Amino acid sequence: MKSALAADTAHNNDFQEIQKIVELQRNSFISDGYPSAKTRIDRLDRLIAMLRSNKQKLAATLKSDYSARSHFDSVVFDILVPIESLKYCRKNTAKWMKPEKRGAKFPLNLLGADAHVFYQPMGVVGIVAPWNFPIQLTFSPLGNAISAGNRAIIKPSELTPETSALLEELFKADFSPEEISVVNGGPDVAAAFTAQAFDHLVFTGAPSVAKHVMRAAAENLVPLTLELGGKCPVIIGEGADIKSAVERIFTFKTMNAGQICLAPDYTFVQAEVLPQFIECAKNFVAENFGTLADNDDYGSIINERHRARIAGYIQEAMSKGYQTIPLSDDIGLDKLAHNHKLAPTLVIDPSNDCKIMSDEIFGPAMPIKTYTNINDVAAHINRGERPLALYYFGKSKSEINMLKHNTTSGGMVVNDIAAHVLQDTMPLGGVGHSGMGSYHGFDGFRQLSHGKGYYKQGLLSLTPFFKAPHTDKMLSLLEKMMG
């Protein structure tokens, strides 16, 4: 009973401390008034400068948090990619702020009526960042929040403690707490964070955790952007270049050891090309990595719990008699001495009741499902939860159009993997189990703004037509005009 009381007290203390920051930012937001383009761009400039000047420090903390992580991947995907997104926001902020003209109804439009949408900042935006790309997935939504004129409070992941601590230090140095603040801590702090009365909350993470976030946000009717994940399928279709497809698939399946929300989760391959697919996958790992245990380009699973979870998926499939093919033999499933590394492993035609086919893998294991009819592939995808992305390799326009129109996913990419994430002109977001809302570019600006409808009446008002006393003559006139 005493420990439960202590836990409640700690939670209340966490809640109150975070609430003070929310109130500080909201009061500042109100007192400062509508933020100019100059103010927003200054904040974006400081974010860009922060990443540029601390590139090596941030990459070092990422490597420390992971035990082993590719320096190249950390710099490119956790630092350079968000810099590009921030630069795009900086370039377009003034344009996005302009009112969006909407046409007033005839004949009011001829008599001076003005109808437009004004994008107004929401206020205080909460951002819950994940551990897999803790910098990119902080700064990408943050750039949209700042471009839209908001203040922001960030909750980094406790699974990357050194990176999270460094981010808190850097933001304290470069931003006032009224502009951007960082709140660090474990699950209790995260629970207190998501219970705040934010004006918008962005969460990136697992669907299972997102359900708790939604419940907490519902208490204050906080609007949400949820960037989740799911089992992103790959289809090797008619006319596909198998070698090229395998290279692109396994570049992302091995990047960050497959711990990417947009990583390919499982692949459909026609039975006749399966041997070639397997051979190309083996060659890819051999040619690009050689051995994995001491290879700095091949990273670790974030911790032993997640490594054991993924290894368990493979072991379950093996115990049920399904063929498993490790693409490197220097790291076994039971070897814990290599910084939580796990070899890329193919699992051939596992049944749908295997956990590797029901759970999001979020690691380097890859189930391969053979098929004969593309319609059966679409049916399989549609029976499951809607994924964050769907990938197709091939040249068949009919297959592409069928998948485009008859499956539902957050995004779809043809002949590449995750290429849409680099397109700032496009929204990035999930649907159903893989999320709601989107960010990136103008779509992110709009997501983190309130589109206020503004209407100014011209010379003529319709109100006199509606006032009492009501007559049959007026009703007849309105029926002719409106019916």
Residue 215 structure tokens: 């419940």
Q: Which domains does the chain have, with CATH numbers?
A: 2-228+435-454 (3.40.605.10), 233-425 (3.40.309.10)
Q: In whole angstroms, what is the distance from residue 73 CA to residue 298 CA? A: 10
Q: In whole angstroms, what is the distance from residue 266 CA to residue 268 CA? A: 7
| Active-site position among 227, 280, 354, 360 | 227
Mapping DSSP onto H, E and C, the string for the chain reads: CHHHHHHHHHHHHHHHHHHHHHHHHHHHHHHHCCCCHHHHHHHHHHHHHHHHHCHHHHHHHHHHHHCCCCHHHHHHHHHHHHHHHHHHHHHHHHHHHCCEEECCCCCHHHHCCEEEEEEEECCEEEEECCCCCCCHHHHHHHHHHHHCCCEEEEECCCCCHHHHHHHHHHHHHHCCCCCEEECCCCHHHHHHHHCCCCCEEEEECCHHHHHHHHHHHHCCCCCEEEECCCCCEEEECCCCCHHHHHHHHHHHHHHHHHCCCCCCCEEEEEHHHHHHHHHHHHHHHHHHCCCCCCCCCCCCCCCHHHHHHHHHHHHHHHHCCCCEEECCCCCCCCCCCCCCCCCCEEEECCCCCCHHHHCCCCCCEEEEEEECCHHHHHHHHHHCCCCCEEEEECCCHHHHHHHHHHCCCCEEEECCCCHHHHCCCCCECCCHHHEECCECHHHHHHHCEEEEEEEECCCCCCHHHHCCCCCHHHHHHHHHHHC
Residue 227 designated active-site: yes
pLDDT number for residue 1: 45
pLDDT number for residue 4: 55
pLDDT number for residue 11: 65
- Residue 212 class from Cβ within 10 Å (0-12 exposed, 13-18 middle, 19+ buried)? middle
pLDDT number for residue 2: 46
Which residue ranges in the chain fall short of pLDDT 70? 1-11, 334-338
pLDDT number for residue 481: 83
Angle at which helices 136-147 and 81-97 pack, to 10 degrees? 10
| Active-site position among 261, 354, 360, 399 | 261
